[in-house]
Amino acid sequence: MAYLSLQGINKIYPNGFHAVHDFTLDIEKGEFIVFVGSSGCGKSTTLRMIAGLESISKGEFLIDGKRANELDPRQRGIAMVFQSYALYPQMSVYDNLAFGLTLQGVDEDEIEEKVNHVAQILGLTEYLDRMPRALSGGQRQRVAVGRALIRKVGIFLMDEPLSNLDAKQRVTMRAEIAQIHRQTGATTIYVTHDQVEAMTLADRIVVMKDGYIQQVGTPYELYFEPANLFVAGFIGEPPMNFVRSKVENGCVTIGSKVVDISGKLTNHPEYEGREIWFGFRPEDAVLEGATPIGAAASAEGRKYALGGTVELTEMLGDNTNVYVVMGETNAILKVNPHDTPAMDEEISFCVPEERVCLFDTETENVIR
């Protein structure tokens, strides 16, 4: 039996707005689960229902096999980090960190040891005597993270805890959160709109859109085996390229190139004469005569020949983003910086057949 189980969870507000639809997920003890999606997709609402801060309109929530729908937040054994800090303004940083342990009746010497340890990890040691109003937004967020991590609970809920940190602090804090998760083994549910956080932290990711789960899987599964057009376009930076084209005699036309995709449609003759989405990731494109990068470097078998005109290049150090015009379609290629083409150059490139994803234009689901 799963440690946390959400079965057909719905959230319907009094005004009739249906924020979360039939959310079903089992979470094992010690898992790090990330809810990801664009603003308004229902990820934070779902987290708040797990925390007990929002009522569940329909469905059942179980903690270790026991129904928890009616339990108040204090009875659920949960620590939560809010995006809005939620610090006690009248308390020092030290007292904010120690407050939960004080309520639990922990010995003062142990509290001091734990507070100093967490403060050192989060870079807060020199701020322990300060009040929250004297801290920057990033420093306040670190205090909020520390206050949750210091408590002896089995479930951590984090609602975009790194959103107010700068880029360097986010990288550091991601590593610290991952390390603390490994040390504590606590079940963690983390909400973010940042796919980098999701991919680097999660054991499994739940991708949401408009209150519905789109796909649940490991970072690898979501990246290499997307279930639909939304997941394929949401996961990955730059996002997957999509070209809409009609299937004619087992081929699609992309720019000036006719591409034979009959091999990928062998079991789907119903798509003949219909439009589909042809998708490929920027790093899977290999310039003619260039060194492959990413998954394309190890891809075998048939390759699709494509081409276009270079509109823009972005040198990023370890790779170059090349913006290409292919007829009425634009695409982004991620190439080795040593192979960066010139502006307005006509280029040829190929994409391994195994790295191409095809999507139904009506359902937007992947064509397996």
pLDDT digits (tens, 9 = 90+) for 62-111: 999 999 999 998 889 898 887 777 889 999 999 999 998 888 889 999 99
Contact yes or no for 222/209 (Cβ under 8 A): no
Q: What is the pTM of this model?
A: 0.89
Can you give the pLDDT at residue 309?
Answer: 97
pLDDT band of residue 43 (cuts 50, 70, 90) is very high
Other Cβ atoms less than 10 A from the Cβ of 153: the count is 19
Sequence-separated contacts (24+) of 128-132 with Cβ below 8 Å: 128/92, 128/93, 128/94, 128/97, 129/92, 129/93, 129/94, 130/92, 130/93, 131/89, 131/90, 131/91, 131/92, 131/93, 132/85, 132/87, 132/88, 132/89, 132/91, 132/93, 132/96
Whether residue 250 contacts residue 265, with contact meaning beta carbons closer than 8 Å, is answered with yes
Query: In this predicted model, what pLDDT tens digit does every residue of 14-36 receive, in sequence order?
Result: 999 999 999 999 999 999 999 99
Domains defined along the chain, listed by start: 4-233 (3.40.50.300), 240-360 (2.40.50.140)
Q: What's the pLDDT at 1?
A: 59
Calculate mean pLDDT across residues 111-136: 91
